[in-house]
Structure 1
Amino acid sequence: MDEQRVARLCGGPPWARGGPPPMRHWEERRRDAKVPWPSTLVLAVFVLVGSSFAAHGQHREPLDALARVLLLAGPAFLLLRNRWPVVAVFGAAVTVLAYFAAGYPYGPVFLTVAVGAFAAITSGHRRAAWWAVGGLWLGHLLIGHWLYVYLPPPGDEAAPWGQELVIAAWVVAIVAASELVRVRREVWAREREERAAAEKRRADEERLRIARELHDVLAHSISVINVQAGVGLALLDSDPEQARAALTTIKAASKEALGEVRQVLDTLRTPGDAPRTPAPGLGRLPELVDQASSTGLSVEVETVGEPTALPPGTDLAAFRIVQEALTNVVRHSGSRTARVRVAYTPGLLDLRIDDDGPATGSEAGGSGNGLAGMRERAAALGGTIEAGPRPDGGFRVRADLPVQPKETM
């Protein structure tokens, strides 16, 4: 069974099963952006009312119908700031420049450009916002110091240079605040992406872990069932009692496989809950020997050194490595004898599984998925694994797993 297929069947995000990616392109998000009409309406009312109050005491043109149209045109452009921020900021800047060129009084009309620049900078259109705000300031400079002679109101005087400095400071403040918000948003977005990537890595690792568990459980149990089914079919007529024993072994192996599969899948249904049954370990090695014996394989087990209590991860990995190695002997070797050596040394668990061969097919050591799973288990614990033909024939799997013994068994 292919572990990658099992991983996809175990679940995961839609894009792992051929669906769309989790993050859409910015242009697609922009097309789906909502029109910010509530905030724009509040801004339009504030600009209209604020300009009426600010007009008192200024020797400028009165606020007529054209002035009110221009005051509303800026907020109207701001309705586009989520989808087309460049259009919004340039439109607001042009309407404000036209408003001052017509000789109307100063007031909160500048806020429309500030909001447009903020939207453009925070959405990534920094240069467009700078050009719009800088163009507005240069245009105001031309109007206030050179073109005022030809523009209303009649008899207007040049604007004081102190006012230009105030406007320049206002422009710098807008750009600086917008840039600060943009940088903070980028930092937050990067942190969110890193958290999402970490979550995805953890999910991928969990799916691969489950895939390895299912592969090891099913490959071993199905191999036993396959051998026993062949024995039962061959002896069904000539030796019914032996056929009955084969069927009994098939029933026991399938029941055990179902139990282990259910335990693995329970982690998907109730993540974070403790497993209902303990994970397999070397303490269940006699069960593996009995299952292998039921297929006609004689397994000799040798324990070297003083057995020590193993961490759960190491214990499970050791059990699965021995299980996969014996499964490969049953499926791919002509030998009817296998030797399992478990050696306990300080800080190290040494596993060695040998058979005398010969191989019964081209895949002497297994299909490749099982060996890859064993290597992944060993690597996850910082250990190593070697698998290959022996010089004198047969096949050997050897794994060295680092371990921190806690107590003597």
Structure 2
Amino acid sequence: MPPLSSRGEHEAMADPDFVQRCLESLLSGPDAVIYVKDLASRFVLVSDATAAKHGMAVADLVGLTDADLFSAEHAEFAIAEERHIMTTGEATAYKEVHETWPDRPDSWAVTTKRPLLDRMGQIVGLVGISQDITGRVLAERSAAAAMDDLRASETRLRTVLDSSPDAITRHDARLRVMFANAAAAALLGVPVTGLIGRRLRGPVSLRTLVDAADDAAQRALRDGRQADLEVAVTHADGTAHRWFQLHVAPLRATDGSVESALVSTRDITEKKAAQEELARQALTDPVTGLANRVLLTERLTRALGRLADGETIAVIFVDLDRFKEVNDVHGHHIGDGVLMEVARRLSEVARRHDTVSRLGGDEFVVLCESLPRGEVALDVARRFVEAVSATFEVEGLSLHLSASVGVVPIYERTGDVPAVLRRADAAMYAAKREGGNRAHLADA
């Protein structure tokens, strides 16, 4: 059959049978919730989908109202709304409605209701069209809940970061600060708002730290690798007065590319001081503060290994005569006072770069490097004897002691430290056998 002309199309569409077929097609659609109600809000025409939604046959639904199908509260609201439409002629369009069904307690639909007019233009009822949007609403709820969870997570994360004593900053590809926590602002002396969107900045005293953080962030952005480093912020004289530990990590986008860098800065000044104190305690004598056996052995090993031709090293062993009597008669606290004074006197006689050590008890060893000849070492040892022979004034007591000193000059490299110390000890005992209060030069 050839296509109808425009006029023929209009005539066909005006045919009552055609209109009826169109209406039946709409009403029989599986998803079309369409209904017509009279002035009493009774169903007079319903689609198959409308009847199916209520679990009823079309014929059984005709003549019922919402009061027969829904809860009293829902029906009262719906009927009042429909009466308003049929009284005023004002339609409602795309209104979202929450519906409760026995098998779907949380359902949503978007509805449009318009007044139904007869040929005279009088309102004789209304036409309603409804579309189920439960899936969309639940998806929106889920997305909103996920967004709320994300905001809550971000809030918790910010709280954690702001509670951290570490200064934490995030830098973009141009090293501009994207995030800074409260500790970062406090460390740099700049409000958080003054840091965001700008390159890291701070007081002149922290310039070294700021530059190190910038450089580390730039390397993380370029290389995509984590890094840890320690930075000393120094005085004008070059001595460190604050230490910081930096941990830098690249942050990646979903495609794996590095988009920013996170820098965590921790003040480790106290930790460094504690480490240095532990190291000092491990290498120093607790009574006198002099080098202990460990430090002496370390320095003596280095000195013996780098001895150059024409140079002389001397190991001078100092042992106090009759020191046991001081402890036995006056107590160890007086003996400790004597040991501290001996340490002071030996350090005064020794050169600045010599190592004065206490091996334990009343035994001291002095390492003298870069001596012109062995006889000079003996002269130094005699000055030690003289220094110890002076009267000791300790807590109101006047004590008289002396020292036996053994001297070992070394002219050639050797790695046998114990042998050197044994020779010095033997020379010291030789001085004791000679009556003490003297120095004895070890045999070659």
TM range (shorter): under 0.3
Larger fraction in helix: 1
More RCO (CA 8 Å, sep 6+):
1
Instruction: State the TM-score, normalizing by the size of structure 2.
Output: 0.23
TM-score by length of 1: 0.24
Larger Rg: 2
